[in-house]
Homo-oligomer: A and B are copies of this chain.
Amino acid sequence: MSDEMTSATFTEQEWSHFEKKSLNQTEADELRDWSRFEAKTLNEECGLFGVWGHPDAARLTYFGLHALQHRGQEGAGILVNNNGKLNRHRGLGLVTEVFRHEKDLEELTGSSAIGHVRYATAGSANINNIQPFQFEFHDGSLGLAHNGNLTNAQSLRCELEKSGAIFSSNSDTEILMHLIRRSHHPEFMGRVKEALNTVKGGFAYLIMTENSIVAALDPNGFRPLSIGKMSNGALVVASETCAFDVVGATWIQDVQPGEIIEINDDGIHVDQFTDSTNMTICSMEYIYFARPDSNIAGVNVHTARKRSGKILAQEAKIDADIVIGVPNSSLSAASGYAEESGLPYEMGLIKNQYVARTFIQPTQELREQGVRMKLSAVRGVVEGKRVIMVDDSIVRGTTSRRIVKLLKDAGAAEVHVAIASPALKYPCFYGIDIQDRDELIAATHTTDEIREAIGADSLTYLSQSGLVEAIGHDKLCLSYFDGEYPTPLYDYEADYLESLAKNGLK
């Protein structure tokens, strides 16, 4: 081990830097919250589902949201429209926890519905923030659900409050409704368009009116949103196409950047709230977030991941015995790598299928003895082998370090970490929960430093061009890798520049 490497080896103090946001959070990563472990702190904000024209609208939405559960596990809600009267059930937890009893759905009578699953940061797991929001005015009712993140939310909210607005949540979603209600445009759709042109950033909205569902997507189309049709003619809209399969619907079209679409008894009416559009789909949807059976912009996610594994194998030829994937999100890429490299694809890591959101923690003493609740290395598979461990990404590095150790403890001779995406160096402001570069190990460390830190024998990332090739189109937001943001950052600009300066980058 060279001096250089030695110096790159992180002390516990240095590791704690990456874990500093909250040590309890680190515990959580390891032990408590399965979903966060899965997500490795990269959390999607939300998933949307809507249905128009079906007698079982709420139940369909329940199934649709369950298929979108991976997009948000902190809360869920369904709002129905029963002949113009809105009604809602929402709560904290998984869809199956929020809708626990048959009556929870039965009471949601109505032939159209919108639903939402939400990821929320620990501090704000507040029922008030769970969507869809419902607004009851003397002149009518509206429902609202949102996936994404506004970049000018703070300044809009401040401005609105100064003129007397009262917000009932600390979610930025509510802003759109204040803008709609304060617009002086004579028609509802005109007011919505005005509001959509005022908010900035990444957003997919579903609005339930008394006689329609309105769907809208930001001018960059950061988040996916698609429309499907059921055999009885009912129309559905969902963040991912996997939700269509679960309810037996067929994809018919994607909502395009800058579009505002009205769905009602007359069918689908497509309009634009702006012509100034530039499609840049979030590349992390392909890499990590979306379900492998979803198609985004016509590209199957599993196929894109498998291709990323193949290209990674071409880019990085590693001398090893077997290829394993970190379950579950990296299995596609791993099988691609194995196929391309000709090495056997093995099940070297297995996941305990009996997951729980809350585990009782081991004592400190037990932790040292190695309690492993969720992931186990299969000694019979990895012992004495040179292992290529394919993963989709590295955020803080803490999880990678633990998995490498798991494999080595089980007797792996070498562990070569192959990441099926480029290094994550820059935060996201359009709907993924990383807004601080300090959380990203690759923002401040070289690949070799990271390799040393996670204890791997080698560390390889997929190139950015390799990623684009794997996905098959370039209408992508790749700012996490290269820092090139496709829009101004508005309220985030100042803090972001400061964060770059702190790291001596700009």
Q: Which residues of A approach B to under 8 Å, CB–CB?
A: 38, 55-56, 59-60, 62-63, 66-67, 69-70, 73, 94-97, 99-102, 104-105, 127, 135-139, 157-158, 161, 163-168, 170, 174, 177-178, 181-182, 230-232, 242, 245-248, 291-293, 295, 300-303, 328, 331-332, 335, 338-339, 344-347, 350, 352-356, 358-363, 365-366, 369-373, 376-381, 410
Contacts and interface: CB of A to CB of B under 8 A. Distances in A.
A170 to B, nearest CB: 7
Contacts of A73: 354
Contacts of A300: 378-381
Given A70-B353, A335-B346, A138 B158 contact: yes
A345 B353 contact: no
A371 B161 contact: no
A301 B346 CA distance: 13
B381 A247 contact: no
B303 A370 contact: no
B293 A376 contact: yes
Given A293-B350, A335-B347, A371 B100 contact: no
A58 to B, nearest CB: 10
B376 A246 contact: yes
B358 A96 contact: yes
A292 B59 CA distance: 37
A161 B350 CA distance: 47
A329 to B, nearest CB: 10
- Nearest 5 Cβ contacts at the A-B interface: A300-B380, A248-B370, A168-B168, A96-B356, A248-B369
Contacts of A372: 245-246
B166 A138 contact: no
Given A166-B166, A170-B136, A178-B166, A347 B371 contact: no
A292 B60 CA distance: 36
Nearest to A117: B354
A161 B137 contact: yes
Nearest to A241: B379
A354 B96 contact: yes
Nearest to A60: B366
Contact of A177 (B163, B166, B356, B378): B166
20 contacts: A59-B362, A59-B363, A59-B366, A63-B366, A63-B371, A66-B352, A67-B352, A67-B376, A97-B356, A101-B360, A102-B360, A135-B166, A164-B164, A165-B166, A165-B181, A166-B178, A300-B380, A331-B347, A335-B344, A339-B344
Given A66-B352, A163-B164, A247-B369, 12 more contacts: A66-B373, A101-B360, A137-B166, A138-B161, A139-B161, A165-B165, A166-B181, A245-B372, A292-B350, A293-B350, A335-B344, A355-B355
A90 to B, nearest CB: 11
